[in-house]
Each structure stands twice: as structure tokens, then as C-alpha cells.
Chains A and B, each alone.
Chain A
Amino acid sequence: MHVVTKILVVFCAVLSLLLAALTMAYAANAGEVRAAFKAEEAQKLAAIAVKDDVVSQANSQRADDQKKTDAATQLANGRQAEITNLQAERTELRTQVEQLKAASEGINNRIVQLSAAVDTQAEIIKNYRDEVTKLRDEGLAASRREIELVDRINDLESQVEVTTANVRALKEQLAEAQLALQTAKDGGNKAGDGVIIAAGPLIQARVLEVFRSPAGEAMAVISEGSNRNIKKNMELNITRGDQFIGTLMVVTVEPQKAVGKINTFGKPVEVKPQDMILSRLQQ
């Protein structure tokens, strides 16, 4: 065997031993490292699970915190709005307080002015009272005088009424005298028949009713009587418009009406209610 071959054999043996030792150590260490790696991996998975749980809890907690934060924010916003409103209200109240102070000062000033005015008015009222008292006394005196004058006027009016009644009676007496005088002057049949011709103021009346007497004479009731100075045997004229119809000889007189005999002088006319009765045909 060649020496080189021997050397190579020796090297081969040594290298084989070395390789075997290295291989065993490598294998053992690789196994340990692999086991450790598995353990670490398991721990990692457990840690990841724990982390996920923690993250989930953290998310839940964060969601709750977010809700609480939102609620707190909303509450804070509400509080802020309320604060703003309260500040505005406070400002308004301050303004009102200032206004009320100013009004109070104005009222005080006005009270002072009114006090002065009251004093002045009291003095004026006092003067007025004195003057009114004076005027009342004067008025009372004037009233007394007026009463006296009224009494005097009433006396005079009574005297005037009496005088007027006397004048009216005298006028009636004068009218009757004139009528008697005229009748005497006429010397006619009427005076002899006792027929009275109305004198004085014009007498107007209306025919109320037309009827026949038991003797068959046409009779009429008129709307005026002794109140208008209509007397028995007075002859009145019956007209309708501008037409003369006849005469009415009064036979019965009452205060508010009279009854008379109709005379149409043979004319074919008929007296109707509402025909006019006149004491004379000319004004």
C-alpha cells in the first residue's frame, strides 16, 4: 500500500470521526432548537390569542369609552348651549336691570316733580276752594234772587193768563155781539130760525159717519164738537175738494164730536165720510 494511500486512509478516518461528531451535535442542537421553536410558536399563538382578547376587550372598552365620550360630548354641548342661553339671559337680565334702574331713577325724578306739582296743586286747590266757596256764596245769593224772580215771573204769568182769559172771553162776547149785530142787520129768516153763523177762527172737521134719522133725514157725525166752539144750530159747510156739497145744521154737540142735519139743496150728491166741514168757505 502506497504511503499516500495510507495517509488518505488516515485522513478519511479522521474526517469521518469529525463529521460524525459534528453531525450528532448538529442533530441534537437542531432538535432542541426545533422544540424550542415549537414552544415559542405555541407561546406566540397563545400570546396572539391573549392579544386578540386584549385587543377585543380594548376595542370594546374603547367603544364604550367612545360612547361615554360621545355622551359626555353631547352633554358638554348641551351644557355649553345652556351656558350660552344662560349668558344671553344674564345679559338680557342685566339690560333689564339697567333699564329698571334707569326707570326707577326716572320714577324717582318724576315723584319729585309730582311732589312739587302736588304741592303746587294743593296750593291751587286751596285757592280754588276759597274761590269756589266765594262763588258758592254768590251763587246761593243768586239762586235766592232767581227764586224770588221766578216767583215774581210766575205771579206775572198767572196775571197774564187771567188777562188772556179775560181777553178771550171779551173777544167771544164781541164776536157774539157782532154776530147778533149782523143777524139784526140781515133781518133775514135765519136769525128768525135761530141759525148761528160761525164767526172767529176757521173751524175745520171731517165727516165721520152718514146715516138716516128715523124721520128719513140725512144726518152726519163730524169729528169736532164744543172743543172747537161748535154750537147747536150752527150752520157749517160741507165740501169735497173744491166742490161745495151742502150745509150741515148742528143738532147735537158733544166735546169731541157733533151731529148735524145734511142739506144738499136738492142736488143729487151724497155726503160721504171724510168730506171736509168748514165754518166758512172763504178764508
Chain B
Amino acid sequence: MTTMMSIEDLHVKFATPFGSLEAVRGASLDIPAGMSVGVVGESGSGKTVLCRASMGLLSGSNVQREGKVVFDGKELTAMTRDQVRNEFGTGMAMIFQDPMTALNPVRRIGTQISESLRVRLRMDGKAARARSAELLSLVRIPDPEAMLRKFPYQLSGGMRQRVMIAIAISCNPKLLFADEPTTALDVTVQAQILQLLSDLRRDLKMSMVLVTHDLGVVANHTDFVAVMYAGEIVEQAPTIELFANMKMPYTEALLNSIPNIEMKSGARLKAIEGRLPSPVDRPTGCGFVTRCSYALQKCHDEHPPLVDAGNGHLYRCWFPLGHTIARKQ
């Protein structure tokens, strides 16, 4: 199994008026070629920053990035901005969360899709237009010719997200980042878009990183999962292994908090009380200690290292689920 992208010990810090804020703290993740990797976590867990930093999309004097990112055999972290830019479109592409704001409201759909074709693939206007129509039918938009002439405001959220996907796959990228591609959409449209992404990934032989806060989405559409909490990857495993053999109390809590269609109606949900610790004031021990129902003194004092449980299953917990030490609850 070849690796499309490998992220090694990535740290991302932002300088803020409150001090240095470490959004990603030493994340390591391999994205195998042709596979789909889910990155799951709550808002503020660092999942979007992880993706953007790996792609080299974060820049500015207040951003500090450490670690190594290797994409398709090339070390992105050692490249200049222009060299990294060269990889966009044909190498890596991204679908953003909000299809309402990611499209330019004053340009026609056709112009927006053909832009990358003309710039990246040096197509002429006519060829780019023909290819744009093809891409629109690939993302299952009926009547692509008519769609090319429309403006984003004329489309529903689901249709806009399809257009975003068409733009992202326009130059046949090897790796597609999808950052919460369905969070702003209805459940029925979400099901359609996720199916579309899975089909495209298979047909175009892409690798994909699917960022989401919903473990339900991850279960059916990924091969591997990385769970993020407070800037760290706290558990990662092949999807089947993760759901069968969870180690982190956080992953379990996240799963339990999902309203399940099979639960008894009127049953109380198992919410995770509290919220993520502030990134400028994180606990010294385990990041999840403030909300973990199993936490012991050791969890407060010492930061848990990444433990390898075999089968590609890694986790960060002193007392993983199924551990023999008596728990508080």
C-alpha cells in the first residue's frame, strides 16, 4: 500500500493577543493511496487547521508550522509557496464546508469551473467549456449546459456543493480534502453527496480526506478514521477496527452522543458535558480529562503517549476502554 500523503509530527501555532495558540499539536497521519480517511472531531478540535496546514494553505506572519508533510513523494514543507501552488488542482484539491460562500456570487458557474481548467491545464475557452459541462454531468447535475450559465444564487445548497465538487475534481487531483462537505445540507442531500463522493473517489482513483464531526458519516464512507481532540489525534484505526474495538473514552462519548435512529423514542441522550478546553489554557495531562467520566489522578498529571494496539490502531489514553483497572464509574 503506497502512501499518498504522510504527515509527521505536525504542529501549527497561531500568534494571538492572548499568547501562542497551538491548534495542532504533533499530529502524524498517513493517507494511503486510493483510500478514504475520515478526520473526526468537534468544532475547535483542529481538524480543519490540520487539513489546511498539510496542504500549505495557511500562511502569514502569525502562523508557525513545524513538522514534515510529504505528498506524492515530494516534501511539501520544504517547498516554496509557488512550488506548493503548482500541486493545487492537479495534485491536491479541497472542497470547503460552506457551498454558499465558497463560490463567487457574481460569476457564472461555467466561468468558475473553467477557470482552473484554463489556468492549470492550459485549455482554451471552448475545450474548457466542454469539459466543464462534462464535469457537471459527472457530479450528476441535470442539464449541465443550462447550469453553466447560472449564477450561484440560483442554485440550492446541494447543487452548489455539487458545483464545488466539480471544480475540485476538474484537474484530476490525486488527493481530495473534503472539509465538512455536507454539514450545511439536509440529510437527504447529505446522503446523495456522500454517495457521489465515494463513487467519484472509486472511479477517479483518488485518495480522500473527509473531515466531519459526525461519526455516522465516517462509518459508511471511509477506510480509516482519525479522531481529533484539542489539537491532537487521540485515536486512529481502520474504520471497522475503530468501531469494533474503541479504545478512547472520547471516541465512545462522541459515538454515544449521536441521536440514533434506533434508540428508544424519548430516551435521554448521552451528551458529553462541558466543552473543549480553551487552546490557550489546556490541561497538563490528557486533553480530555475535564470531560472524561473515567478520569483518574494520573490523567490529570501526565500527558498520555500514543500507544500502538496493533492492526494500525493507535490511541492516547492511560486507561483505555476494556482496561482492567477499576474505573470510577
A and B found bound together: no
